[in-house]
């Protein structure tokens, strides 16, 4: 087993985007989003662990993996406005992400589909059920391992599935919210 920090990331209201823009356009968006995430991961020595089109699990191992994962999640959310205004982006509305971070021991298999882990299960549920668009949630284990300066952007603790967690005090993805093609709508509000 390895000590690993993981990010669960997912496009908010993906099914609405698919209905509005069609499968081909969304496949192009998924490709561009994955490329965007790969560049962010390279900066923090992370990798895509598992990917399913509109989201997946990103992994960070070895030294300082907790802080690297949290900083990468922050970088993803704060850089998303640049992704949204990119001329390559094939959709004409703001794409929002939810992200959550957890850490713990995970048994590694080269076939990542075989990996069953409480860490991965919890982070995926935390992201989907307790994290609002444009925000980052972090588990208790991540809170305990994160530099206090980084923790300063996270609000008071809540509880999810019986464990404490914290979420960023505000959305991090709204820098260019009023730019053409980035209009707010029900799906990303």
In CATH, what number is assigned to the domain containing residue 104? 3.30.70.1230
Domain that holds residue 59: 2-167
Whole-angstrom distance between the N-terminal and C-terminal Cα of the chain?
40
**Per-residue pLDDT reduced to its tens digit, 47-84:** 999 899 899 999 999 999 999 999 999 999 999 999 99
For residue 174, tell me if it sits in a domain. no
For residue 187, tell me if it sits in a domain. no
**Model's pTM, two decimal places?**
0.91
**Per-residue pLDDT reduced to its tens digit, 109-157:** 666 555 568 999 999 999 999 999 999 999 999 999 999 999 999 999 9
For residue 175, tell me if it sits in a domain. no
Q: Give the largest Cα separation in the chain, rounded.
A: 47
For residue 97, tell me if it sits in a domain. yes
């Amino acid at each position: 087993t390895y000590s690993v920090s993981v990010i669960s990331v997912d496009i908010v209201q993906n099914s609405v985007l698919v209905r509005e823009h069609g499968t081909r356009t969304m496949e192009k968006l998924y490709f561009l989003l994955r490329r965007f995430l790969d560049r962010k991961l390279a900066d923090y020595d992370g990798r895509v662990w598992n990917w399913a089109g509109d989201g997946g699990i990103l992994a960070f191992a070895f030294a300082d993996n907790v802080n690297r994962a949290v900083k990468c999640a922050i970088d993803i959310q704060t850089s998303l406005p640049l992704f949204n205004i990119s001329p390559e982006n094939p959709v004409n509305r703001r794409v929002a992400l939810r992200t959550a971070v957890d850490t713990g021991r995970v048994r590694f298999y080269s076939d990542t589909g075989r990996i069953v882990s409480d860490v991965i299960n919890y982070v995926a549920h935390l992201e989907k059920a307790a994290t609002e668009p444009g925000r980052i949630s972090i588990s208790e284990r991540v809170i305990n391992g994160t530099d206090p300066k980084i923790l300063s952007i996270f609000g008071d603790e809540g509880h999810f599935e019986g464990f404490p967690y914290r979420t960023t005090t505000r959305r991090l993805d709204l820098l260019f919210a009023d730019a053409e093609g980035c209009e707010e709508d029900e799906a990303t509000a």
